[in-house]
Amino acid sequence: MHELALMAELRHLAEEAASREGASRIHRLQLRIGSLSGVDADALRSAFAVVMADREPGDGSGSIDTQGSTLELEVVRTVCFCADCQQEFAPSDVIHACPRCGALSTQVLRGRELELVALEVS
Ligand SMILES: [Zn+2]
């Protein structure tokens, strides 16, 4: 379960950020995930529920309350760039062929994101 490990890491990062701000509670995490990031949104939601409900984090830093925190996911669709047409396009499948000229694009502009965009603590 790749998503569980990822979520545990995110919880750790969020707890560190909360500690730095002198906060004791995590309310909301907002993540941006690209459709090419290899992360499944549903699996991530399940992992979030499991990880945040655990009162005893592995690293022993149990000072931050994560109970009742929520997860917001922003899913970014894949966008490629065709150098021949100088145009962006959204590929319809895993083969990134330009819909105008049919050339295979090697430039992925969006879709690989995996980032924490917002964190709400108090
Ligand atoms: Zn093209």
Q: How far is the CA of 111 from the centre of ligand 1 (A)?
A: 19
Q: How many domains does the chain have?
A: 1
CA dist list (Å): 55 to 38, 65, 69? 28, 8, 13
Strands (E) located in the chain = 26-34, 70-76, 79-82, 87-89, 107-110, 114-121
Q: How far is the CA of 94 from the centre of ligand 1 (A)?
A: 16
Q: How far is the CA of 99 from the centre of ligand 1 (A)?
A: 7
CATH number of domain containing 37: 3.30.2320.50
pLDDT tens by residue, the chain, 122 residues = 589 999 999 999 999 999 999 999 999 999 999 999 999 999 999 999 999 988 765 555 568 999 889 999 999 999 999 999 999 999 988 899 999 999 999 999 999 999 999 999 99
Question: Looking at the domain assignment, is residue 40 inside a domain?
Answer: yes
Q: How far is the CA of 83 from the centre of ligand 1 (A)?
A: 7
Q: How far is the CA of 26 from the centre of ligand 1 (A)?
A: 46
pTM to 2 decimals? Answer: 0.81
Question: Looking at the domain assignment, is residue 95 inside a domain?
Answer: no
Q: How far is the CA of 90 from the centre of ligand 1 (A)?
A: 12
Closest by CA to 102, choosing from 82, 80, 120, 116, is 82
